[in-house]
Amino acid sequence: MRKFFKTFTNKDGKCLELSVDQKELAIVFIPVKQSLKVTSRAVLLAQSDCSNYLKTQIEFHEQLVDFLGKDLGLFSYRLIGDEKVFSDYHHALAQFGLNQGKTVPIKDKSLFQFFPDEGRLRIEAKKKTRVLVVDDSETIRKLLSRVLSEDSELECVGTVELPSLVPEAIERLKPDVITLDIHMPEMDGVTLLKKLLPKYQIPIVMISSLSREDGNYVLEALESGAVDYIQKPSMSELPVLAPMIREKIKNARFAKVFRNDSSHQGGISLRKLGSQNVDQSYLIAIGSSTGGTEALKHVLTMLPDQIPPIVIVQHIPAVFSKAFADRMNTLCNFTVKEAEDGDLVVNNHVYIAPGGKQMKLSDNGGVIRVIIDDAAPVNRHKPSVDYLFDSIAGFSRKKLVAGILTGMGADGAKGLLKLKQNGARTFAQDESSSVVYGMPKEAYKIGAVDKVVHIDLVAETILKACS
């Protein structure tokens, strides 16, 4: 049987929120009688090209009956989408006895909210993300403008060549996100970032050549409040990099901007924790992505000098992972290193997965070693949190602590659930302290998380779980 539509339900009767574009048609059913409530049956989302089949396909009627019940006359419907197909749907739905309600034509992607208990519908067009490009290279300005123009949800509202012109451009253009080159005349991008953020709380994404020379600049920018970084594109790399650039800029719009404060990040007084009662035979595994370098720094610098071994996957390019590990090693009294194939996993050591590779662990009679390989990306990531977590989930040992920090996407969620089911104690960073509440949210949604904690409490949570 042809499946004409996807069903979206909301069993608690609260707001159901969906995004619709021109290729889809939302059919929202609302009871004619106020005494009826559609709490577990709410919205159908059909492909617009189904309209040509409606008059001849009896299966569509059967699926409606399965969805709403036999007495379709108790319901009115509203159509949201491409108005060119409205007449076909009106004709078909009238034959089925449904009552015609409002129609809402849309040209671009729109967000609609349906409140089943109230029979109320709210539509709003998705606003484009306004992007200001700051780069002294005319070639890069043109390339980034081109990349942004190819997405209907993004708009390059302006480009700026010199740092001194940026404040005026911000005031005039009101961007949602700024892309900022590192190497420019007048001042470097990190210095400009530090000048901008105290006045303008706008998410800034750094543009980097991803060279070893840029590593410390990028890490300093992230420490100073940049939300992410993207690779400076060349014409030949554009087909591969363009989708990633657009995705990162879209996510940056909704990222939280945290200005660096060495003493605290959320009003909670910080202190280096003691190692009393910590069972050193535990193994700790952590995954993170966007905002993760600062979150990890926050956690590691609060841990005591004596710690169980920690393995970390941070989504990071190959040229930056060693720079990040070396930076952490200078701040901590235990050893932090970029993991190498064959490393023995021992106490008072933190092992950070090398960028561009996959990292997993092996357990041979209680002797744990690092395995670095060139396996394919998992969840589009290399290194991948799930790849690491899955390797640990098969261990017979039960003294495991694992968690997910800030980051976009869902990498690590399924692996964390496997670890929890294997007896691990699990945690996730909370929304208020996450730069992007993506990976922790997905882990929580599937039941993989024992505790949701503010970043200031992650180190304490880990130590308590190891006691």
Report the catalytic residues. Answer: 289, 315, 411
Helix (H) or strand (E) holding 425: strand 425-429
Helical ranges in 309-412 per DSSP H: 318-331, 385-393
Q: Is 62 helix (H, G, I), strand (E, B) or coil?
A: helix
The size of the chain, in residues, is: 467
DSSP string, 190-220: HHHHHHHTTT----EEEEE---HHHHHHHHH
Q: What 8-state DSSP symbol labels residue 98?
A: P
The beta strands (E) that lie in 161-303 are given as 177-181, 204-208, 228-231, 283-288
Region label for 343, one of left (φ > 0), alpha (ψ between -120 and 50) or beta (otherwise): beta
Residue 440, preceding bond cis, omega within 30 degrees?
Answer: no
Cα 44 to chain centroid distance, Å, stands at 27
Say which amino acid occupies 102. Answer: K
In the chain, count H helices and then E strands. Answer: 13, 22
- Contact predicate 294/258, CB 8 Å: yes
Contacts of 246 (CB under 8 A, 6+ apart): 147, 148, 150, 151, 154
Q: Which two tokens stand for residue 386?
A: 């799930």
Say which amino acid occupies 447. Answer: G
Rounded distance, CA 207 to CA 234, Å? 12
Q: Which two tokens stand for residue 300?
A: 């590691």
* Residue 209 burial class via C-beta count within 10 angstroms: exposed 0-12, middle 13-18, buried 19 and up: middle
Helical ranges in 36-163 per DSSP H: 58-68, 86-95, 138-149
- Contact predicate 100/93, CB 8 Å: yes
Say which amino acid occupies 15. Answer: C
Rounded distance, CA 368 to CA 309, Å? 10
Task: Determine how β-strand 24-31 pairs with β-strand 75-81.
Answer: antiparallel
Rounded distance, CA 320 to CA 84, Å? 51
